[in-house]
Amino acid sequence: MKIKNLIVFGTRPEAIKMAPLVKAFQQNNSDFITKVCITAQHREMLDQVLSFFEIQADYDLDLMRPNQDLYTLTAAIITEMKPVLEEFQPDFVYVHGDTTTTMAASIAAFYAGAKVCHVEAGLRTHNKWAPFPEEINRSITGRVADYHFAPTITSKENLLKENIDDHSILVTGNTVIDALNFSVSKVSSKEFFDAEIEALKKSINSEIIILVTGHRRENHGQGFIDICSALKDIAIQYPEAQIMYPVHLNPNVQKPVYNLLSDIPNIKLIEPLSYPAFVWLMEKSYLIITDSGGVQEEAPSLGKPVLVMRETTERPEAVEAGTVKLVGTDKDKIVSETRALFENENLYHQMSELHNPYGDGKAVERIVKFIKELPHGK
């Protein structure tokens, strides 16, 4: 009997991190029947990733709505998952990380009697309000899950402290590195053509690129105003550098960013980038300033120092390894840490040459092997 896998995700970061797992299970089709269900919590951004990784969804719940809130989204995911689970009757349902899709799909899978596998399990800030709602999403998923694929030893230790059975936890490394390795080689290949990357090449007029990304809910309001003031100061202090800022579509982000930064010649505010173009731009950057979780994991593999615009992070390993620094939304701190990386060559090399604590690109191989070796596939 083949093992039936249902892999569920709804946002671009989940799709990127689950894509290598989908491909690995599909290649092992003598042992597994694998189907993909997307909630499409983020529609456009998700579709780009699926096409880049050449993945087709078997079930598309298409739940994105204007002005969506957490109440309606959570309810819709649980109710819309029911027919999918009843029709396919999976043995295992895989969810990723800490989105609303992760939490709601894990509950639906539990109701259906499937085993729940949590990829990127065990991340914690131990503060339920930061990041909101992600900390609670991943904590709930951790209670529901049968198997926990922890990216690092630290995340495994978090789970053990919550009385999760040691035998149900596997430290895999992060699947984002598997995805990044695939992507860098694809965007660098001569055969690969991407109109967006070609347009980026034309718009870049400096050797020194600072890539900025910011969208976290907890930074909305004053946080974004302070971030923009810091970027303005950096642009003025380093006119030879070019700040590339793909601006998130959320109006709470767009408004302060365009108000404060649109008239500065060496800051380029651009549309959000598709995943291949973003990988290409990360690879070309000198330094990355971000509040994104995924970027904190990817950039060290590319040898890029990262300044993280958050007060806390559920990814302390990179901070401990020295590949990223927490600067919060404190204007002076963002500016002074950027200055240090521009003016202290040793510090720059030290941050860019450190190894990546998040993995070696073999995470999905370990997950597939683990599931294969479970007694009777259960």
Distance CA 115, CA 94 (A): 9
Q: Which two tokens stand for residue 221?
A: 């309001």
Catalytic residue among 80, 91, 98, 337: 98
**In the chain, where does DSSP find H-type helix?**
12-27, 43-52, 70-88, 100-112, 134-144, 153-161, 175-188, 195-203, 222-237, 251-261, 275-284, 293-298, 316-321, 331-343, 345-353, 363-372
HSE-up of residue 227 (Cα within 13 Å, Cβ side): 31
Distance between alpha carbon 60 and the CA centroid of its chain, in Å?
21
Give yes or no: 69 in active site: no
Report CA-CA distances (Å) from 101 to 88, 97, 147, 293. Answer: 19, 9, 18, 17
User: What's the rounded Cα separation, in Å, for the pair 89 and 222?
Assistant: 47
User: Tokens in use for 330?
Assistant: 């404190």
With H, G, I as helix, E, B as strand and everything else as coil, classify residue 349. Answer: helix
Phi, psi of 246 (to 5 degrees): -70, 115
178 assigned to active site: no
138 catalytic, yes or no? no
Catalytic residue selected from 215, 216, 310, 315: 215
Tokens of 164: 């999760």
Separation between Cα atoms, residue 24 and residue 34, nearest integer Å: 10
Clarify whether 226 is annotated catalytic.
no
Among this protein's residues, is 283 annotated catalytic?
Answer: no
How far are the Cα atoms of 163, 188, 222, 264, 306 from residue 184, in angstroms, in the given order? 39, 6, 36, 31, 18
Q: 14, 80, 91, 134: which is the annotated catalytic residue?
A: 134
User: Is 248 tagged catalytic?
Assistant: yes
Q: Which of 80, 120, 298, 317 is catalytic?
A: 120
Residues with a catalytic annotation lie at: 98, 120, 134, 215, 217, 248
